A and B are shown apart, each in its own frame.
Chain A
Amino acid sequence: MANSASSSAPLLTADGTPLKVGLQRSLRRSKLKAAGLVFPPLLFLIVLFIVPIGDLLTRSVDDTRINYQLPLTFALIDNWDRKELPDESLYEAVFLDLSSINKFLIKHNFGAAVDPKDPAWTVSIPRKGPYRDAILEIAPDWRSPANWLPLRAIAVQASQATGATIDLRKAKIKAEFTICKDLTPLENASCSNLYRELLKWDGTSEPNEVLFKALFKDLSYAAKYLIGKSSTRMNYEKPGFKSLLKKSGRKFEKIEEGPYKEALIKADKRWGDIDFWKALITMKDPQTSVYYLNSLDRKWDADREIVMQPEERRVYVMLWERTFWLSLIVTLGCLVLAYPVAHLLATLPLRHSNLLMICVLMPFWTSLLVRIVAWMVMLRSEGVVNDTLVAFGWPDESRLQLMYNFTGTVIVMIQILLPFMILPIYSVMKTIPPSYMRAAQNLGAPPSLAFLRVYMPQTLPGVGAGVILVFIVAIGYYITPELVGGKDGRLIGNMVAYHMQKSLNWGLASAMGAILLVGILILYWIYDKVVGIDNMKLG
């Protein structure tokens, strides 16, 4: 009864504030404390993990660099009707973009917008100099020493580095790259001439011909580098662009003046092929879907329809399928092998199961590379498995090919991922009272039926957890297929690595990574629904 009496007046805490307010305050304080604890690790994770992966994903659609290559063309290309070959103005734009791109680089530094009517485009820089007047005509800002000083600061700072000879050289090389990075959209061009001359310059006097010469030389080098990169990019859109640009580069040097349309088509008849022009338009946007299409063996055709790549260029769909099937086989293989072992571990008395548990956990704790090395010793054609077979009378000349193929990858991956399957199933089986099976049999069910109707349904959460976990891990595998997979055991992860390290097609690598990531995140989400990530346990 005392409760009903006090509920009419607000409850007060010891210091006189209403209880409701006090509770809210303490709730808020508790929330803040929890958030304060989580904040540093979360920030660390976001900055060093989430942001880099986001950065990778932006690369899969990023297409800005080509805009540095063809600024004039892209400024004019929307005027073209796309029905027949473009007119003279577009041909002139392409000619200027490809033959005198260093002019754009010279201007770009000061943030000048691209104006097709700018007379600077037609300024010709004498190949043997003098460079100063021509460059100043294009971009007068270079007259002021102040605009050279930031570049000089980079060089000066690097020249003052101390340490071992190798460190000094590293500092110099880095400064040469940094200068170029400031001047151009390129990360890997080296401005060695500017570095040298900027150090000789005192920083106050009027920039002289020597500096302008260095600027011209480095930017010309950067322009060549840029055109190489661009032609690779254009080749993804339409095969043939790379050789077209290479050939054009040489021939364009001989073209003195217009009309450019005839001159270009004469230089290479592909400039008269409308499909190349249509391909140019698709690259205008600073975002592109070409990498996603390519990673699924598709492309845009000249009429903006998505079509399959020609037969001989199709690889990725096959790889996606192979990755999927291999992961599925590995997952099912693990399940078949893990289920009885988990059951044995769960039903044995603790004393015996501990020793067996160590057998399960030992591979889990052993270095992945050690396990792969061990499998190589086992599976080689001169390996333990084959030697044993031969010792038991297997014909010596038909030793099994167990490694560097699909089979090898499956065998090794099953062994590596087996603990991930055994442990979740085991932990669920552990909670099933053995009396359930006895009760079922007591009620007249034969053991097989009791197992199917009573025991197995209860293990399904563990099976689900193990299956999803193994599949997630298997689908992104890289190391194992790389080392024991040979040619037909390669998976999508290996293709990502190939495009990252060898072909340097980073856009495609990122797109494939993004597709893989989306698939994995969906599985992760399902895992959370089925098992709950809180229940993830180790060992």
Chain B
Amino acid sequence: MALPSYATPAQRIWHYIYLAMCSIVLFFLVMPLLVVIPISFTSTPFLQFTPEMLRLDPDAFSLRWYRIMMGDCSDPGITTVCSDNWKIGALNSLKIGITATVLATTLGILAALGLSRPIMPFRKLIMAMMISPLIVPLIITASGTFFFFARLDLVATFWGLVLAHTILGLPFVVITVTATLVGFDTNLTKAAASLGGGPIRNFFKVQMPLILPGVISGALFAFITSFDEVVIVLFVGGPDQITLPRQMWSGVRQEISPTILSVATILVIMSICLLTTVEMLRRRSERLRGIRPS
């Protein structure tokens, strides 16, 4: 958006104020995340830029907090708790996240397919229900789930957490897949059926490849939701069910050490990768459906 050449000085000034405001907001959004990354490489136990770091002294940087994060406790100067909990937590979070994602994606695709059909009784109500886990505060969901799972003996079990996380991931899959199905040409499935394909084969051969971008981005949303979820884990999980967010939670509540910043750095990089994937998928999906970016 360039300023036209006939702009008055007042308009010019206003334009630069506007650009400055936007830059400040974008800076405000991204800066905290970017600040974490260099500090995580500090060689001191302090969570700040030391004068040596600002002078770019190579001795001021080290990987010691990354080693501690990986459970290498041989560092003589460590003051914080050192254990395998980060590794265990990451592994648990992956297991729970992947299982919950598979479940949420399967159920979400079914729901989206049903809801996208031209005739669907109570469509609005069902859609509202499907999205409600996104709207209801986590603390309420967690409390309700705790009482209910206590009756079913699901508290402090792997499947308890998986089921609760599936519920949280479901709306994302429903939203993204429904959005992909909006531009879906139903003549394609009719054509496939007229050529003799069964409904299941048609789905996997014709429909699925076209809605795949939506499915994958929904699955990624569901995964990241589970991978980042801590309230349900605190309420429904047992004390020995350490997950990555839970370990971060207890780390933040006790004493933040640069180890947490190392974990944070890795997660920021992971989120950048996921974001790029989803953006690419979105464009691919728009291209496939013939929607040109304006």
Contacts and interface: CB of A to CB of B under 8 A. Distances in A.
A372 interface: yes
Interface string B35-52: 110010000001111000
A476 B221 contact: no
By secondary structure, the A interface counts as helix
B67 to A, nearest CB: 19
Q: For the side of the interface on B, what is the size category?
A: 35 or more
Interface stretch (B57-65, B121-129, B190-198): B121-129
Contacts of A382: 46-48
B224 interface: yes
Interface in A1-51: 27, 30-31, 33-42, 44-46, 48-51
Contact of A341 (B22, B31, B164): B22
Interface string B152-194: 0000000000011011001010111011000000000000000
Contact of A56 (B107, B143, B175, B221): B143
Contacts of A524: 128, 132, 135
Contact-residue bracket for chain A = 35 or more
A359 B133 CA distance: 27
B33 interface: yes
Interface string A461-489: 00000000000100111110001000000
A50 B110 contact: no
B17 to A, nearest CB: 10
A363 B137 contact: no
Contacts of B30: 359, 362-363
A122 B62 CA distance: 78
B121 A31 contact: yes
Interface string A348-368: 101000001111111111111
A130 interface: no
Contact of B26 (A39, A341, A370): A341
A358 B167 contact: no
B275 interface: yes
A378 B27 CA distance: 13
Contacts of B274: 365
B204 to A, nearest CB: 15
B29 A387 contact: no
Contacts of B137: 475-478, 493, 516-517, 520
B144 interface: yes
B217 to A, nearest CB: 7
Given A341-B26, A360-B29, A415-B29, A27 B140 contact: no
A250 to B, nearest CB: 33
A361 B206 CA distance: 31
Interface stretch (A79-87, A206-214, A530-538): A530-538
A337 interface: yes
Contacts of A56: 140, 143-144, 147
B267 A370 contact: yes
Given A34-B117, A387-B48, A517-B137, 4 more contacts: A362-B33, A366-B33, A516-B137, A524-B135
18 contacts: A27-B119, A40-B107, A44-B166, A44-B170, A48-B164, A358-B279, A364-B275, A365-B272, A369-B245, A369-B248, A377-B47, A479-B230, A479-B231, A509-B143, A516-B137, A534-B127, A538-B221, A539-B282
